[in-house]
Amino acid sequence: MKTINIGIIGAGRIGKIHADHLLRMPGAKIAAIGDLFAGDELRSWAAERGIPVVTTNSNDIMEHPDIDAVLICSSTDTHVPLIKQAAANGKHIFCEKPVSMSVDQTREALAAVEAAGVSLQIGFNRRFDHNFSRVREIVSAGRIGDTHLIKITSRDPSPPHPDYIKVSGGLFMDMAIHDFDIARYLSGSEVVEVYAQGAVLVDPAIGELGDIDTALTTLRFENGALGVIDNSRKAVYGYDQRIEVFGSGGCVSADNDYPSTAVVSGPDGVTRDKPLYFFLERYKEAYMNETRQFIDSLHNGTAVPVSGHDALQAELIALAAKRSLQQGRPVKLAELTTGISSAG
Amino acid sequence: MKTINIGIIGAGRIGKIHADHLLRMPGAKIAAIGDLFAGDELRSWAAERGIPVVTTNSNDIMEHPDIDAVLICSSTDTHVPLIKQAAANGKHIFCEKPVSMSVDQTREALAAVEAAGVSLQIGFNRRFDHNFSRVREIVSAGRIGDTHLIKITSRDPSPPHPDYIKVSGGLFMDMAIHDFDIARYLSGSEVVEVYAQGAVLVDPAIGELGDIDTALTTLRFENGALGVIDNSRKAVYGYDQRIEVFGSGGCVSADNDYPSTAVVSGPDGVTRDKPLYFFLERYKEAYMNETRQFIDSLHNGTAVPVSGHDALQAELIALAAKRSLQQGRPVKLAELTTGISSAG
Amino acid sequence: MKTINIGIIGAGRIGKIHADHLLRMPGAKIAAIGDLFAGDELRSWAAERGIPVVTTNSNDIMEHPDIDAVLICSSTDTHVPLIKQAAANGKHIFCEKPVSMSVDQTREALAAVEAAGVSLQIGFNRRFDHNFSRVREIVSAGRIGDTHLIKITSRDPSPPHPDYIKVSGGLFMDMAIHDFDIARYLSGSEVVEVYAQGAVLVDPAIGELGDIDTALTTLRFENGALGVIDNSRKAVYGYDQRIEVFGSGGCVSADNDYPSTAVVSGPDGVTRDKPLYFFLERYKEAYMNETRQFIDSLHNGTAVPVSGHDALQAELIALAAKRSLQQGRPVKLAELTTGISSAG
Amino acid sequence: MKTINIGIIGAGRIGKIHADHLLRMPGAKIAAIGDLFAGDELRSWAAERGIPVVTTNSNDIMEHPDIDAVLICSSTDTHVPLIKQAAANGKHIFCEKPVSMSVDQTREALAAVEAAGVSLQIGFNRRFDHNFSRVREIVSAGRIGDTHLIKITSRDPSPPHPDYIKVSGGLFMDMAIHDFDIARYLSGSEVVEVYAQGAVLVDPAIGELGDIDTALTTLRFENGALGVIDNSRKAVYGYDQRIEVFGSGGCVSADNDYPSTAVVSGPDGVTRDKPLYFFLERYKEAYMNETRQFIDSLHNGTAVPVSGHDALQAELIALAAKRSLQQGRPVKLAELTTGISSAG
């Protein structure tokens, strides 16, 4: 088995998580890590892990002759240029979601990837979660028959900092985009229409930045199924990530994960601990699995499990949701793919 | 304690259920039962229970001098004239839902009730369910803070006969109207806007009758909260009646009821029996409770727990949902209350 | 259908519960109720319910020519003489558990019943509980294969008054006797050996009266299965009544019943209300079912669902447990049935 | 942070699991691995992992000057001599359970460890399980008050091979010993008396080897609490590892772990997948945690989390259980510690 040499661009929290998974993975080696703000701390972190190159210049990675693949973990505005550059240099690509805030730019990036014939996997980590993938398996196996309704609950334990909200692209593009992807993943069908309602119920500061913190988005799928996603930026009991798929033959649902199964019966009721706090805890294994499958697909020359098309579709749904919210009406995805996407 | 003498109009399934509950209730007596098709069977059924009068003419009940209150359990088209007649005769009224398919007619009935100064309780039995009323208690006690999201799952085990579909008023007026009432009951706020999606996924025959069998309805409440109801006419695993209220301080949810808590762990998985089959099983106690509270309110001279206003609001939401579905856009309830309700 | 005329002896809590169930039961009529302390209150209670005879002399019931069956709900010390008298008068008998504290006396009562050819049903109400009877059904259907282990949890919410403890016959005869019966009911096999451990952990006053408040009793069944029962007089979270049967083909367990399915997720955890408080709430339906089946068996001339033999066996297990506790060794039931039972 | 150099003795399944955890652990290095049957396969396995020394002679490890600590993962009969040798060579020791089948030999090993002043940690991995440790935390925090009852369910998915049964030391020493340790861990009190029942219900071959496959063991603790453990060698639905601690202030219980939270409601019931299959799946994280804490305690010079005393006590309980089964009576642990242990 040839070793895949990896360059990581962006050494924030998620970049380091991917790094730690790759370090334990047979058949992969981290050849370099780059970050605009790389300093002593990152150098010493890399040294402890035997990562030979640390750089502030992504070209050092993009042009490194031994590097087979790059992980793009930098801020969203850098994704498209980095994808194009990586493709031009023949590197395979793993890119965090979303590819961009603009459908046109995402399309350009995808075209570059296709022209170069490299692999591009998108970081929709939830597809690799043990609960969601089990639900998908059950749906795919036909155990619930034809899909009629999909329900997704997706609530964060607390809102991000206002500085992040400003550049996040808004709740739909930043947070619900995962849910849009999961909706497609579970339904096995494309979304054709979106109606979104939003509200500022958690923190007025979010509203002042032009964003919402609570949303209810309904979806209509090509195969006739209906879907609904509810989002909140603040669930005081922790990360709330549940799904339900209802069909002609039954219903499958997945509950949250908990730190333990311990339950206390006492004079005030029967209590268990709160669900796992946030995505790092809940999707710990999912992050590992997605990286492993990326490396595996490179080794085996097989398709990556989450494609650029998947990124584009989720972004289209997010834009449709945004437009629906702004205009107070259901929006067909077709509207966004016929020369009017710039209004999104 | 004075005994309340009751006349029941409509001796179908639900009329008989109410009768059986009243027979066991101290302080109430069934003085008469009327049904257009009353025959030997009903006469013998009534005789076994000591009900002295059986009639095919509702006037025998409406004009009976000893009767204090009537239960209207006949078909929906008869509700308004019977309510008016009962009110005119000074009888208190318990009426099954909906009062009518027309907001104008419902308003007329309510006006007659008000003019007569009698009590009118609507048969929204689910408010008396142990799960839903416990959720309401928890919400009212402030345990989940301000309400942000309300989610209602309401699925029947199998669709009604096409003959019933024809006269039912459609899924929103016939089935979802209960959910619209529960949404108001749980939120403690009025619905201001409705967006409804519908589909025919269960049985094409339902579509041919101009109705739908699957629906996703989103609600916006006056207090800013958002709500969503999903309906299906056919859940193969039985009656599915769950609710969830999410707020600034937490989330409360109620699961289905099951015939037992027995769980079998075997080579193929861990299995429990299906939920209770349908509304007669699930809401058995709720039916008893609503009748008891009606009788209690008459004894005590207190307000009935579900008023005519509650009927009207649920009907308005149903009409808004229907119009939303027809026109493919969100519909404000205000549209229906400003001289354009005839288009509903 | 002939009406069965019933006389109730003992108008305490349980006698009145049975009365209320019988009053709603087609084919049964309460002809008389007797209580040593019958006074104005009982007379007025009976009058409201149309019970014609109230007496302080049980002979008025035993010798009443129209009475077909008696319910013996008086204190345990009266059970044997009343059973004998009822049998002698040709009355069918429903008797609360235990029949007596002495195996010899219980045998005498059973012999009298057999000689008279009347029916005798014992008030082991838990057999009629929806959870326990569903577990039994699953075991009987062979879904868990051969039974290997039976586990019963049986804990009261709070200990009875010391005055009751004194005359109760002790934890095994008073409280665990229900569990001994359920163990036999679920296993479909007889207990052959008992080892009991006891402790006074709840209230020293119980120890001073020579009783225990906490017990762990292990059973060996004729078919080779093993069983264990844990008892406590005080579970601060309410009545705890769970069972589990493990076998070669799987495991079936039944959890407690709860007043609702509502669950609150909040900053301190995920909480549901406590289980139903005590036996009147938990076994409400079971009490109704056992009375109905008694009446049905009289109408149909079929065997009663819980026989005098069932009473005797449960009492033998209770005596074996008591002896095991006293002597600190496992005790075979055969020891108690070979002329040495007076030492129990 | 100084690196701890480790030698692993015994390269079977569990030895390799520990190795893989140590390889990922900062501050630890595997300097050598030894196995009587070390061959090409092990050499290549070690080479892939950069383990420099592979040997068939444990002296190469014991006498290796750079090795700080040994992990003893070889068969039980080798534990005592290896512990003594390691202690004599000043190596810290991690040893799988049980130390030996003989209390006298275990005591000798412990004495050698104490004389040498090295650390000895026993591989009671379940103490590091997220569920059991959370229950312990809850008990220790006083949330259930004084402990009254401890219940442990411990069932394997399928019996080991008869060849293993022969040398296993029997169900109590091989399998239930983990449960005896957990009982002590949860109660915070010593066991003073044991009564054990056993049966051969799974496989007669096990009985022919003089062992049992089903057991019910009751414990009496020094602090007055009672305990019960049920064991089976075969649960067709997978590994069944549950605990419950009941006390004056409430009850805490921990359920099994499942591969996902997905639940399917279908026409035949409501089903989830079986629990995690066996100890490697269930206790995966626990194995990692115990190794990490061993290394941490060596770094920090703190006490190991599971001591030699813990091993000895669990072995005493296992011997008491065996004797109880043989003699059909409760056995006090004091019997085994007063010169009569050779009869165990």
Helix (H) or strand (E) holding C216: strand C214-221
pLDDT exceeding 70 applies to what percent of chain C? Answer: 98
Other beta carbons within 10 angstroms of residue A63's beta carbon come to: 12
Q: How many residues does chain A have?
A: 344
Name the residue facing B236 among D267, D273, D275 (closest C-beta): D267
A201: closest chain B residue by CA? B148
D172 band by pLDDT with thresholds 50, 70 and 90: very high
Strands B69-72 and B92-95 come out as parallel
- Phi then psi dihedrals of residue A216, to 5 deg: -130, 115
CB B67 within 8 A of CB B61: yes
**B225-243 burial, b if ≥16 CB within 10 A, otherwise e?**
bbbbbbbbbbbbbbbbbbb
Report chain A's terminal Cα–Cα distance, integer Å.
46
CB A33 within 8 A of CB A51: yes
Question: Is there a contact between B274 and D273 if contact means CB atoms under 8 Å apart?
Answer: no
What mean pLDDT, rounded, does chain B reach? Answer: 95
Helix (H) or strand (E) holding C240: strand C240-247
CB A249 within 8 A of CB A142: yes
Chain A residues within 8 A of D255 when measuring between CB atoms: 261, 263
Chain A residues within 8 A of B148 when measuring between CB atoms: 199, 201-202, 214, 232
- In Å, how far are C85, C245, D78, D133, D157 from D168, measured between CA atoms? 62, 28, 13, 27, 17
Name the residue facing D143 among A135, A144, A264 (closest C-beta): A264
The span from the CA of B141 to the CA of D155, in Å, is 44
For the segment A206-228, the average pLDDT, to the nearest whole number, is 97
For the segment B92-96, the average pLDDT, to the nearest whole number, is 98
pLDDT exceeding 70 applies to what percent of chain B? Answer: 98
How many Cβ pairs closer than 8 A exist between chain B and D? 49
Chain A residues whose C-beta sits inside 8 Å of any chain C C-beta? 235-237, 240, 265-275
pLDDT of the residue at C1: 65
Question: Is there a contact between A218 and B235 if contact means CB atoms under 8 Å apart?
Answer: no
B339 band by pLDDT with thresholds 50, 70 and 90: low
Q: What's the DSSP call for residue B216? A: E
Other beta carbons within 10 angstroms of residue B263's beta carbon come to: 22
Q: Which residues contact D46 (CB under 8 A, 6 or more apart)?
A: D33, D54
Q: What's the DSSP call for residue B239? A: -
* Predicted confidence (pLDDT) at residue D341 exceeds the cutoff of 70: no
pLDDT of A33-91, one tens digit each?
Answer: 999 999 999 999 999 888 999 999 999 999 999 999 999 999 999 999 999 999 999 99
pLDDT of B187-217, one tens digit each?
Answer: 989 999 999 999 999 999 999 999 999 999 9
Chain A residues within 8 A of C275 when measuring between CB atoms: 265, 270
Q: How far is CA C9 from the centre of its chain?
A: 17
pLDDT of the residue at A340: 44
Which residue from A116, A243, A126, A104 is spatially nearest to A177, judged by alpha carbons? A126
Question: Is there a contact between C264 and B251 if contact means CB atoms under 8 Å apart?
Answer: yes
The span from the CA of A64 to the CA of C284, in Å, is 77
**Would you call C265 helix, strand, or coil by DSSP?**
strand
C341 band by pLDDT with thresholds 50, 70 and 90: very low
What mean pLDDT, rounded, does chain A reach? Answer: 95
The span from the CA of D237 to the CA of D275, in Å, is 7
pTM: 0.95
The span from the CA of A58 to the CA of A61, in Å, is 5
The span from the CA of D84 to the CA of D113, in Å, is 7
Name the residue facing B262 among C138, C266, C267 (closest C-beta): C138
How many Cβ pairs closer than 8 A exist between chain A and C? 49
pLDDT of B205-253, one tens digit each?
Answer: 999 999 999 999 999 999 999 999 999 999 999 999 999 999 999 999 9
Which residue from B238, C133, B64 is spatially nearest to D268, judged by alpha carbons? B238
- Please report all neighbours of D, defined by 3+ CB atom pairs within 8 A: A, B, C
Chain C residues within 8 A of B20 when measuring between CB atoms: none
Chain A residues whose C-beta sits inside 8 Å of any chain D C-beta? 24, 26, 48, 130-131, 134-135, 138, 143-144, 249-257, 259-267, 273
The span from the CA of A294 to the CA of A300, in Å, is 10
A139: closest chain D residue by CA? D264
Q: How far is C47 from chain B (nearest CA, A)?
A: 13
Which of A155, A232, A261, A270 to mutate to test binding with chain C, by most C CBs within 10 Å of its CB? A270
Question: Is there a contact between D269 and B271 if contact means CB atoms under 8 Å apart?
Answer: yes
Q: What is the CATH number of domain C127-279+313-343?
A: 3.30.360.10
Which of B263, B270, B288 to mutate to test binding with chain C, by most C CBs within 10 Å of its CB? B263
Which residue from B222, B228, B186 is spatially nearest to B321, judged by alpha carbons? B228
Reading across the β-sheet that carries D53-55, which strands appear in turn?
D53-55, D28-34, D4-9, D69-72, D92-95, D120-122
Helix (H) or strand (E) holding A297: helix A284-300
Instruction: Tell me the residue type at C254.
Output: A
Q: How far is C201 from chain A (nearest CA, A)?
A: 17
For the segment A127-137, the average pLDDT, to the nearest whole number, is 98
pLDDT of A268-312, one tens digit each?
Answer: 999 999 999 999 999 999 999 999 999 999 999 999 999 999 999
Chain D residues whose C-beta sits inside 8 Å of any chain A C-beta? 24, 26, 48, 130-131, 134-135, 138, 143-144, 249-257, 259-267, 273
Strands A269-272 and A262-266 come out as antiparallel
Q: Which of A246-255, A329-338, C190-199, D234-243 has the lowest mean pLDDT?
A: A329-338
pLDDT of D37-49, one tens digit each?
Answer: 999 999 999 998 8
pLDDT of the residue at A188: 86
pLDDT of the residue at A1: 65
Q: How far is B224 from chain A (nearest CA, A)?
A: 7
Which of B255, B261, B271, B273 to mutate to test binding with chain D, by most D CBs within 10 Å of its CB? B271
The span from the CA of D223 to the CA of D206, in Å, is 36
For the segment A248-277, the average pLDDT, to the nearest whole number, is 97
Q: What's the DSSP call for residue B67? A: -
Tokens of residue C250, six digits: 């799987």
Tokens of residue B297, six digits: 């309110």
The span from the CA of A189 to the CA of B34, in Å, is 53
Which of B239, B240, B242, B270 to mutate to test binding with chain D, by most D CBs within 10 Å of its CB? B270
B24: closest chain C residue by CA? C24
pLDDT exceeding 90 applies to what percent of chain D? Answer: 94
**DSSP string covering A10-63, please?**
--SHHHHHHHHHHHT-TTEEEEEEE-TT--HHHHHHHHHTT--EEES-THHHHT
CATH architecture for residues B127-282+313-343? 2-Layer Sandwich (3.30)
Name the residue facing B328 among A235, A240, A330 (closest C-beta): A330
Q: What is the CATH number of domain D126-285+313-343?
A: 3.30.360.10
CB B83 within 8 A of CB B99: yes
* Radius of gyration of chain C from its Cα atoms, rounded to whole angstroms: 21
- Please report all neighbours of A, defined by 3+ CB atom pairs within 8 A: B, C, D
For the segment A245-269, the average pLDDT, to the nearest whole number, is 98
- What is the 3 state secondary structure string of chain D? CCCEEEEEECCCHHHHHHHHHHHCCCCEEEEEEECCCCCHHHHHHHHHCCCCEEECCCHHHHCCCCCCEEEECCCHHHHHHHHHHHHHCCCEEEECCCCCCCHHHHHHHHHHHHHHCCCEEECCHHHHCHHHHHHHHHHHCCCCCCEEEEEEEEECCCCCCHHHHHHCCHHHHHHHHHHHHHHHHHHCCCEEEEEEEEECCCCHHHHHCCCCCEEEEEEEECCCCEEEEEEECCCCCCCEEEEEEEECCEEEEECCCCCCCEEEEECCEEEECCCCCCHHHHCHHHHHHHHHHHHHHHHHCCCCCCCHHHHHHHHHHHHHHHHHHHHCCCEEHHHHCCCCHHHC
D144: closest chain C residue by CA? C236
pLDDT of D57-82, one tens digit each?
Answer: 999 999 999 999 999 999 999 999 99
Chain D residues within 8 A of A3 when measuring between CB atoms: none
pLDDT of B4-22, one tens digit each?
Answer: 999 999 999 999 999 999 9
pLDDT of the residue at B93: 98
Which of B127, B242, B260 to mutate to test binding with chain C, by most C CBs within 10 Å of its CB? B260
Q: What's the DSSP call for residue B21? A: H
Tokens of residue C239, six digits: 């009545």
* Predicted confidence (pLDDT) at residue D159 exceeds the cutoff of 90: yes
Question: Is there a contact between A228 and B216 if contact means CB atoms under 8 Å apart?
Answer: yes
- In Å, how far are A68, A85, A246, D228, D258 from A88, measured between CA atoms? 13, 5, 44, 68, 45
Helix (H) or strand (E) holding C147: strand C147-155
HSE (side-chain half, CA atoms, 13 Å) at C238: 22
Domain boundaries, chain A: 4-118, 126-285+313-343
pLDDT of the residue at D242: 98
pLDDT of the residue at B341: 42
pLDDT of C24-35, one tens digit each?
Answer: 888 899 999 999
The span from the CA of C145 to the CA of C223, in Å, is 13
Decide: residue D2, CB within 10 A, 0-12 exposed, 13-18 middle, 19+ buried.
Answer: exposed
Q: Which residues contact C24 (CB under 8 A, 6 or more apart)?
A: B24
* Radius of gyration of chain D from its Cα atoms, rounded to whole angstroms: 20
pLDDT of D194-234, one tens digit each?
Answer: 999 999 999 999 999 999 999 999 999 999 999 999 999 99
* Predicted confidence (pLDDT) at residue C210 exceeds the cutoff of 60: yes
CB B205 within 8 A of CB B235: no
Question: Is there a contact between B273 and C24 if contact means CB atoms under 8 Å apart?
Answer: no
Q: What's the DSSP call for residue C146? A: S
Domains C4-118 and C127-279+313-343 alike in fold: no
C338 band by pLDDT with thresholds 50, 70 and 90: confident
pLDDT of D84-140, one tens digit each?
Answer: 999 999 999 999 999 999 999 999 999 999 999 999 999 999 999 999 999 999 999
- Please report all neighbours of C, defined by 3+ CB atom pairs within 8 A: A, B, D
The span from the CA of D216 to the CA of D198, in Å, is 6
Other beta carbons within 10 angstroms of residue A298's beta carbon come to: 22
For the segment A213-231, the average pLDDT, to the nearest whole number, is 98
pLDDT of the residue at B342: 41
* Predicted confidence (pLDDT) at residue A238 exceeds the cutoff of 80: yes
A24 band by pLDDT with thresholds 50, 70 and 90: confident
**Would you call A4 helix, strand, or coil by DSSP?**
strand
pLDDT of D253-298, one tens digit each?
Answer: 999 999 999 999 999 999 999 999 999 999 999 999 999 999 999 9
pLDDT of A151-183, one tens digit each?
Answer: 999 999 999 999 999 999 999 999 999 999 999
What mean pLDDT, rounded, does chain C reach? Answer: 95
- Phi then psi dihedrals of residue A75, to 5 deg: -70, 155
Superfamily of domain B4-118: NAD(P)-binding Rossmann-like Domain (3.40.50.720)
Chain D residues within 8 A of C157 when measuring between CB atoms: none
Chain D residues within 8 A of B237 when measuring between CB atoms: 265-267, 269-270
CB D43 within 8 A of CB D37: no
The span from the CA of B309 to the CA of B184, in Å, is 11
